[in-house]
Amino acid sequence: MTSSDSENSTRQRLLDAAGECFAQHGFHGAPVREISQRADANVAAINYHFGDKYKLYESVLLEAINYAEDRFSALRQQADTLDVAQRLHGFISSLLIGGLDPARPEWHCKLLCMEMADPGPALETLFTKSLSGRFGMLRQIVSELLDPPADDTEITLHACSVLGQTLFYLRSRQMLPKMLPGFKLDMNGLETLTAHIARFSLAAIEERNRRISRPDG
């Protein structure tokens, strides 16, 4: 067992500490000194392992985005065995539970939301590496649900409706206690949300399908 173990190496401790600090104070508001102290490491260790503060920030973002990627990989592999409604449910669930899973460090979700609200150079990587693929997956699901078939714009609008409902909880998480007092975001609550979003969206789409296929205008 060498010191490069990914478990508790200086590098890994820095990543975790940085995640917390960046999520708490933002990139500019988080001093590298505080990060290194929380990681029980030297200030110079950051530059040694990551080059500079921003490269550390990028690495932290990657760490956060990768965490939930497993769920989507699994979903992709099960695509053939699940019907389209199940895949919609799976997508929403992956995003929502993958994002708010109480087992996941809180800062993952917040940091990603902050980066999306104020995108920097790092977002490019996140996008090409993960976000764009996820959105394509959702568009595929939605396009299968829309019958009679929809044009590109309509698919996009429906995909955004599903995505918007889901991301709302991730992006509003900081405000949820204030907005929805009494609502608990435990596993149970998350499944309630998932079920609602799926049912709400499927209902809207079914209604749309019925309307379009009706003979009159």
Partner DNA sequence: TATGAATGAGCCTTCATTCAT
Partner DNA sequence: AATGAATGAAGGCTCATTCAT
Note whether 200 binds DNA by CB under 7 A. no
One of 1, 7, 9, 200 touching DNA (CB under 7 A) = 9
Residues 56, 50 contacting (CB under 8 angstroms): yes
The site map against a second copy for 115-144 (x = CB under 8 A) is -xxxx---x---x---xx--x---------
* Positive or negative torsion for Cα 140, 146, 151, 156: negative
Q: How far apart are CA 136 and CA 43, in angstroms?
A: 41
What is the three-class DSSP state of 64?
A: helix
Q: How far apart are CA 13 and CA 49, in angstroms?
A: 11
Note whether 103 binds a second copy by CB under 8 A. no
Residues 94, 70 contacting (CB under 8 angstroms): no
Note whether 51 binds a second copy by CB under 8 A. no
Closest to DNA by CB, 30 or 205: 30
Give the nearest distance from C-beta 32 to a second copy in angstroms.
13
Stretch that binds DNA, among 40-48, 105-113, 175-183, 184-192 (CB under 7 A): 40-48
Note whether 174 binds a second copy by CB under 8 A. yes
